[in-house]
Amino acid sequence: MTRHFNFCSGPAALPTTVLERAQRELLDFAGHGLSVMEMSHRSAEFMAVAEKAEADLRELLKVPSDYSVLFMQGGAASQFACVPLNLLGQGGTPNYLDTGIWSQKAMKEAQHLGGGHLAAGSKDNGYTAVPTQSDIALSADAAYLHYTDNETIGGLAFDYIPDVDAPLVCDMSSSILSRPLDVEKFGVIYAGAQKNIGPAGITVVIIRNDLLARARPETPTMLSYKTMADNGSMYNTPPTFAWYLSGLVFEWLKEQGGVEAMAAVNERKAAKLYAAIDGSGFYSNPIHKAHRSIMNVPFVLANETLNSTFLSEAEAGGLLNLKGHRSVGGMRASIYNAVPEEAVDALIAFMNDFERRYG
């Protein structure tokens, strides 16, 4: 069996040791004689899996006791509707920061549900830098401020946490668990699992408990944060295998030294790759250096006619999923927690060799 280096933006790489453990436990989980996929989600065995996963996530992110941790379905895109549905029951206007495609999609969903205010955006600079704190202008009746911490497609990331007089809501799908986080600065954090948590199919929501009572009356039961909190995220049958695998990833992160240790590795991986790009006349990245993502690194070749050659040769060399998003083009290396440092080293070596041969 050959494991290649996977730079996919999502579903993304999972730790090899996690996959190997899941493989060992696939037919017989913990000596129970069946797979975790086959057991009741309300059994004592699975409840233990779910409770440990939540406890480990709380430990990793130092989640305060007055916050609920929810495991929901529908991906981060479903949260674009969940947020306004759950937070606008007392009136007010949802406020948004526009830093790219995902923040735009979130705001568009809010507009479907009654409006939205653009508090600041990056359109004027071509989405190459995030708005500054002083750029942010909330509406007078702001119900919350939503922003996307890391734009997966554009590789644009915030280097600060906005400080505003309204609950702060953040899409952290591609940055959660990559570095330490002060959860208390947020009202709601949400993240699709398929980048830094686990397989696609489950979404983590961390919400301050005082916000659970703010839902609009028409909020569907399955989209209600309070319903999920009151039912331990098991109002219906949850995606049990995704929950179990996410828990294994949380265990793996603790074994690596937690998010503090991962942050050091992630900074080093990103620094290497950006140095290779910046030190070349063949590759380039347009993002302001202070706002470059350490998770998603887009780059373009000086000669775009070589794109297909670059991708085919990279894949032949075991470097997978480097094609940039169709809306941006070029290349993109997603270097999440589970992407080992040797993968980045191998990519840099290939890039240098490709430039030598075609530059």
Alpha carbon distance 257, 251 (integer Å): 10
Q: Is the distance from CB of 343 to CB of 7 less than 8 angstroms?
A: yes
Check 56, 195, 252, 269 and give the catalytic one: 195
Please give the structure tokens belonging to residue 28. 């017989």
Alpha carbon distance 193, 177 (integer Å): 11
User: Is 226 an active-site residue?
Assistant: no
User: Is 252 an active-site residue?
Assistant: no
Beta 142-148 vs 156-157: how paired, if at all?
unpaired
User: Is 62 an active-site residue?
Assistant: no
Measured distance between the N- and C-terminal CA atoms of the chain, rounded to whole angstroms: 34
Please give the structure tokens belonging to residue 337. 């927690």
Check 56, 102, 252, 269 and give the catalytic one: 102
Within its chain, how far is the Cα of 36 from the centroid?
Answer: 25
Please give the structure tokens belonging to residue 192. 């699709």
Measured in degrees and rounded to the nearest 5, phi and psi for residue 135 equal -75, -25
Q: Where are the beta strands (DSSP E) in 176-318?
A: 188-192, 203-208, 283-284, 296-301
* DSSP secondary structure string for all residues of 103-171: HHHHHHHHHHTT--EEEEESGGGTSSSPPPGGG----TTEEEEEEESEETTTTEE-SS----SS-EEEE
Alpha carbon distance 244, 141 (integer Å): 41
Alpha carbon distance 120, 355 (integer Å): 39
The partner residues of 67 in beta bridges, in order of sequence, read 208
Check 56, 98, 149, 171 and give the catalytic one: 171
What residues are labeled active site?
A: 102, 171, 195
